[in-house]
Structure 1
Amino acid sequence: MKKQQLRKELKSLRNKLSRDLVASWSSKICKHILSSPQYHQADVIFGYLAFGNEPNIDSVLEQALLADKTVCVPRIISETEICAVRFDGFEHLLLDRYGIRSVSGTDSVIDPQQIALALVPGVGFAKNGNRIGMGAGYYDRFLAQVNKAVLMGVTYDVLLCQEIPVDSYDKSVQYLVTETNVAHCG
């Protein structure tokens, strides 16, 4: 199956999930992340601010802040790039040009080399760690700069695929977390 067709089917499937199911699965995903050694060993965590029916990891970000970890989230800086900016809480979020929650423009940029754990959203993942995103390539370009971090894909079991077609620039993840577990990709 071609990438565009797979992306379309996975987005449609995700969009059909009920709010209750998304909330329930997101809660389980957060518990798995928070109990993982990858989370406990990380001093700098790159997360994301969920959009639509993406798994919501807000409680992971909150707990990381309470544990005095450095937390950062993406901010779009151009048509092709995101950067990691310090996240200090949910009080001063804005909506960006895509309607995604975002931190204000005055926040400090975090060097991608400092990130120890990157929690990576995707439209879908394969069990080998291959990922398909929204199609703009923001994460692939950003994750290419994140050399020292453990990359953990965040998804639902229903969005796991046997195979995802990849291009040479696509970045895969080392771990996958779903509502049922955290698994090493192999």
Structure 2
Amino acid sequence: MTKREVRTHAKTLRAAMDRERIGCEMAQALFALPCWQHAQTVLAFAALSDEPDTMPILRQTLADGKRLLLPRVAEAGCMDWVEIPDLALLQRGAFGILEPPADCPAVRPPEEALLLIPCLAVSPDGVRLGRGGGYYDRFLAHAKGSRLLLCPSALILPEVPADSWDVRFAPEEILTEKGTLV
């Protein structure tokens, strides 16, 4: 199947998901991991309407006194990271995604940050399928820190087509509502 066909299939599977339940279970699995417990800075994302709800993670990040950085679409294909001290600051931005307002300055993510990455689907061998804009592929090509791909277990597909620039994830870097794959 092509990436377009796999995206269509993944979106169909997502439509049947209980995104709130999966988001809460994913958050609980995350909070039990040492990488979460040791993280001082978390790079996360505000979920789209078809993604597992990330608000429990965003709220807990701030409640734990961790530094929360969220992406803001910058120039075509690129993201800025912005520190958010209060979720009430978020507003709809590019593509209808909740993001930091334009008047908040971009910051450079620290190298020891925990990176939480979205996807449409992933294969067991770690091929991530994004939405096709390349924003996260460009970011991940030079990002430092611990990383976790947040993917519901129903969206771990037997095979995902890959291009040379697609970033791969190890099984222990793929977090489902049941925990990591390892």
TM-score normalised by L of structure 2: 0.92
Contact residue 46 and residue 70 of structure 2 kept, 8 A: yes
Paired residues for 1:16-35 under 5 Å: 16-17=16-17, 21-35=18-32
Q: Say whether residues 1:173 and 2:169 are aligned partners.
A: yes
What do you get for the CA RMSD once the two structures are aligned? 1.5
Counterpart CA distance in 1 for 2:53 and 2:111 is 24
Contact residue 70 and residue 86 of structure 1 kept, 8 A: yes
Change (3 A) 1:179 1:110: same
The list of structure 1 runs, each at least 4 consecutive aligned residues, that deviate by more than 6 angstroms after superposition, is none
Paired residues for 1:11-160 under 5 Å: 11-17=11-17, 21-146=18-143, 148-160=144-156
Count of equivalent residues:
180
Counterpart CA distance in 2 for 1:70 and 1:153 is 19
| SS of alignment partner, residue 98 of structure 1 | helix
Counterpart CA distance in 1 for 2:93 and 2:35 is 30
Paired AA for residue 64 in structure 1: T
Contact residue 26 and residue 57 of structure 1 kept, 8 A: yes
Deviation at 1:31, TM superposition (A): 0.3
Counterpart CA distance in 1 for 2:14 and 2:110 is 32
Contact residue 127 and residue 161 of structure 1 kept, 8 A: yes
TM-score normalised by L of structure 1: 0.90
| Percent identity of equivalent pairs | 26
